Amino acid sequence: MIEVRGVSLVYGSGPAAVPAIAELSFSVEEGEMVAVVGPSGCGKTSLLLLLDGLVRPTSGQVLIAGEEVRGVRRDVALVLQDAGLLPWKTVRQNAELALRIQKRRESVDGILAALGLSGFERRFPAELSEGMRRRVGIARALALRPRVLLMDEPMANLDSLTRERIQNLLLDLWWEMRFTAVLVTHDIEEAVFLGQRILVLTPRPARLREVLENPGMGSQEYRGSPDFLARVRALRRILGENG
- Residues found near ligand ADP in the complex (CB under 6 A): 11-12, 18, 20, 40-46, 204
Pairing of strands 76-79, 148-152: parallel
Shortest CB 145 distance to Mg ion, Å: 26
Report the partner that residue 240 touches, choosing among ligand ADP, Mg ion, none (CB closer than 5 to 8 A by kind): none
Cβ–Cβ < 8 Å for 28, 65: no
In the bound state with ligand ADP, the residue whose beta carbon lies nearer, of 99 and 183, is 183
In the bound state with ligand ADP, the residue whose beta carbon lies nearer, of 14 and 40, is 40
Shortest CB 145 distance to ligand ADP, Å: 27
Shortest CB 58 distance to ligand ADP, Å: 12
Q: What angle do CA 57, 145, 97 make, to 5 degrees?
A: 80
The full 3-state SS of 45-78, as one line of letters, equals: HHHHHHHCCCCCCCEEEEEECCEECCCCCCCEEE
84 binds Mg ion (CB under 5 A): no
Give the 3-state secondary structure of residue 139. Answer: helix
156 binds Mg ion (CB under 5 A): no
Stretch that binds Mg ion, among 38-46, 85-93, 107-115, 170-178 (CB under 5 A): 38-46
Shortest CB 65 distance to Mg ion, Å: 25
Cβ–Cβ < 8 Å for 221, 36: no
CA distances from 163 to 34, 59, 131, 169, 238 (A): 18, 36, 8, 10, 23
Per-residue DSSP letter, 89? S
Report the partner that residue 12 touches, choosing among ligand ADP, Mg ion, none (CB closer than 5 to 8 A by kind): ligand ADP
In the bound state with ligand ADP, the residue whose beta carbon lies nearer, of 71 and 226, is 71
Q: Which residues pair with 11 in a beta bridge?
A: 18
Q: Which residues pair with 62 in a beta bridge?
A: 4
Among 8, 19, 32, 45, binds Mg ion (CB under 5 A): 45
Report the partner that residue 41 touches, choosing among Mg ion, ligand ADP, none (CB closer than 5 to 8 A by kind): ligand ADP
In the bound state with ligand ADP, the residue whose beta carbon lies nearer, of 11 and 26, is 11
Shortest CB 134 distance to ligand ADP, Å: 17
User: Residue 19, Cα to own-chain centre: how many angstroms?
Assistant: 22
Q: Which residues bind Mg ion (CB under 5 A)?
A: 44-45
